[in-house]
């Protein structure tokens, strides 16, 4: 037993040593999708990882970009053209190519990463993660990259023993988008690859073979016979196919694995989900259902998956709670920042005013004392009422004498308040009002008319926490003309 164990350790050591001495070459392509240059940034983050450079001879970034831009047919948003992919990888002279895509998955971004062996165009490793921002990717990348490199090492010398599984296009019905179907199919392919039961041929190989197969139409061969024909065209042993359909508020994801030799369905199962993020979490469970026969082992793996799913759900709940706390903190910060502005945009005052008026068809000046109160029901607005009493000199009578005539009037007002800031001791604001002057109170004639006339005022108010002072200009219609008034006021705030 000890001798066998020693031999195994020596074999493993020799394999690792050989791999380290003859490291394969890896090209890193820009990741498709994402916002702005997000895909290029993430590709650069991979190149910065020492673990990747220790495991592979990484093609320099400038050589990879030159190869990409030399190939005119390359589209950064869609790397599905096989001729373009082959052309780029040959320019890179790489044994493996690392590529991926970024797409939206609910409120998060989904990063899908794959390593493809150039010689056989098989996917040897893959994983996917969801993230909120680039900082989260930086934290997750070293851990996930270790699993990606280990999976690549394990496939050396092992893939020849495994059956090949081709991933066919998944159909979608009932309002399910092609984007959702493509995304979930990619995730299921990665989960099947990670089970170690199949060599997975990515979608690129299928398109390449289908283009070589004359007369083959992707949309015309979605039945089992067509899928088996597609598998035979690329020398695959099995084909993964399926469909996604809308069932009321839920979606049904059905997948099956067909034997290419006789077109027989060897495994088939389905999962239901509502949101696309929930469907992504179920792809691991579906891979277990498609590869592990019923029994204790399947139950154990599903239980582990559900536990991990609960951990993911718990993390998302924590993230939602963190975002809620951030929103509340931001709202509180805005409230604190706006509180002095809103407080200064209110005119809650009671005070006395002295006005001097002239013009309006009456050249003699008038002097008035006013008492008024203003209240702001909401910031930046004010309503008020003002009462006035005063006198002016009358015209000469027939004896050449002047008389003093009493004046009584009142006005309701509606206006706006505009804060101007200030310090701790005082604040200042501009106000303006539209008013309706009412006259003819008691036995006297009103200052404006015997009934009502419009007027307006505008002024500057200086306030302390308990009092205020102001200066204002008022314009009124009076006896068929335009009258002016200047006033000063003092009072208290409430």
Q: What is the pLDDT of residues 180-208, one digit of tens each?
A: 888 888 888 888 888 888 888 876 544 44
Distance CA 71, CA 69 (A): 5
Of 458, 274, 482, 224, nearest to 363 (Cα)?
A: 482
The CA distance from 56 to 149, in Å, is 9
State the pLDDT at residue 491. 93
Could you tell me the two tokens for 7? 């031999």
The predicted structure's pLDDT at residue 6: 40
CATH architecture of the domain covering 164-314: 3-Layer(aba) Sandwich (3.40)
pLDDT score for 41:
84
Render 179-244 in DSSP notation, one character per residue: HHHHHHHHHHHHHHHHTTS-EEEPHHHHHHHHHHSTT--GGG--SHHHHHHHHHHTT-SEEEEEEE
Question: Tell me, what's the pLDDT at 109?
Answer: 86
Instruction: Give the CATH number of domain 20-161.
Output: 3.40.50.10610
Residues in the chain predicted with pLDDT less than 70, given as ranges, are 1-22, 61-90, 153-160, 203-234, 308-323, 360-364, 393-404, 440-451, 478-480
Distance CA 461, CA 390 (A): 24
Q: What is the dihedral of CA 239, 240, 246, 251, to 10 degrees?
A: 170
pTM for this predicted structure: 0.54
Same fold, 20-161 and 164-314: yes
In the structure encoding, which two tokens stand for residue 366, read together? 């008038």
pLDDT in tens, 61-103: 665 655 555 554 444 444 444 455 656 666 777 888 888 888 8
Question: What is the CB neighbour count within 10 angstroms for residue 397?
Answer: 9
Predicted local distance difference test score (pLDDT) of residue 155:
59
* pLDDT at res. 156: 54
Distance CA(477)–CA(452), nearest Å, equals 10
pLDDT at 46: 85
Domain ranges (residues) in the chain: 20-161, 164-314, 344-493
End-to-end CA distance of the chain: 94
Length of the chain: 494
Contacts of 460 (CB under 8 A, 6+ apart): 428, 429, 430, 470, 471, 472
Contact 481, 359 (CB under 8 A): yes
- CATH fold, domain 344-493, is Porin (2.40.160)
CA distances from 205 to 86, 233, 323 (A): 11, 10, 42
- Can you give the pLDDT at residue 203? 61
């Amino acid at each position: 037993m000890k001798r066998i164990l020693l031999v195994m350790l020596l074999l493993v050591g020799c394999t690792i040593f050989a791999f380290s001495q003859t490291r394969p070459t890896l090209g890193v392509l820009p990741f498709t999708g994402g916002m702005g240059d997000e895909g290029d940034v993430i590709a650069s983050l991979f190149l910065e990882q020492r673990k990747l450079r220790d495991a592979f001879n990484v093609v320099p970034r400038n050589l990879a970009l030159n190869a990409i831009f030399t190939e005119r047919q390359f589209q950064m948003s869609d790397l599905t053209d096989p001729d373009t992919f082959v052309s780029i990888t040959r320019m890179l002279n790489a044994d493996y190519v690392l590529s991926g895509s970024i797409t939206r998955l609910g409120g998060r971004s989904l990063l899908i990463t794959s390593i493809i062996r150039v010689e056989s165009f098989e996917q040897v490793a893959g994983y996917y993660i969801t993230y909120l921002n680039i900082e989260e990717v930086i934290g997750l990348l070293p851990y996930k990259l270790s699993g990606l490199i280990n999976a690549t090492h394990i496939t050396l010398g092992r893939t020849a023993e495994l059956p090949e599984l081709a991933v066919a296009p998944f159909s979608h019905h009932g309002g399910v988008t092609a984007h959702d179907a493509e995304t979930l199919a990619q995730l299921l392919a990665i989960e099947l690859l990670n089970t170690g039961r199949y060599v997975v041929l990515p979608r690129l190989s299928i398109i390449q073979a289908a283009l070589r197969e004359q007369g083959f139409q992707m949309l015309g061969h979605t039945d089992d016979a067509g899928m088996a024909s597609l598998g035979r065209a690329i020398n695959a042993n099995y084909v993964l196919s399926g469909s996604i359909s809308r069932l009321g508020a839920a979606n049904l994801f059905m997948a099956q694995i067909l034997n290419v030799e006789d077109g027989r369905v060897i495994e088939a199962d389905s999962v239901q989900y509502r949101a696309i993020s929930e469907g992504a979490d179920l792809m691991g469970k579906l891979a277990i259902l498609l590869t592990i026969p019923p029994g204790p082992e399947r139950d154990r793996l599903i239980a582990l998956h559900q536990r991990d799913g609960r951990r993911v759900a718990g993390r998302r709940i924590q993230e939602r709670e963190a975002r809620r706390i951030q929103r509340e903190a931001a709202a509180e910060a805005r409230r604190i920042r706006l509180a002095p502005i809103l407080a200064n945009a209110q005119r809650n005052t009671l005070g006395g005013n002295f006005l001097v008026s002239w013009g309006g068809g009456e050249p003699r000046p008038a002097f008035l004392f006013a008492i008024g109160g203003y209240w702001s029901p909401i910031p930046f607005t004010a309503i008020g009422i003002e009462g006035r009493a005063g006198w002016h000199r009358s015209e000469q009578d027939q004896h050449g004498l002047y008389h003093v005539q009493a004046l009584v009037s009142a006005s309701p007002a509606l206006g706006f308040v505009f804060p101007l800031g200030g310090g701790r001791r005082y604040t200042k604001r501009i106000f303006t009002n539209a008013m309706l002057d009412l006259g003819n109170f008691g036995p006297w004639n009103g200052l404006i008319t015997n009934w009502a006339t419009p007027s307006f005022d505008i002024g500057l108010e200086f306030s302390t926490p308990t009092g205020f002072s102001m200066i204002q200009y008022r314009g009124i219609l009076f006896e068929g003309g335009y009258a002016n008034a200047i006033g000063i006021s003092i009072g208290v705030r409430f």
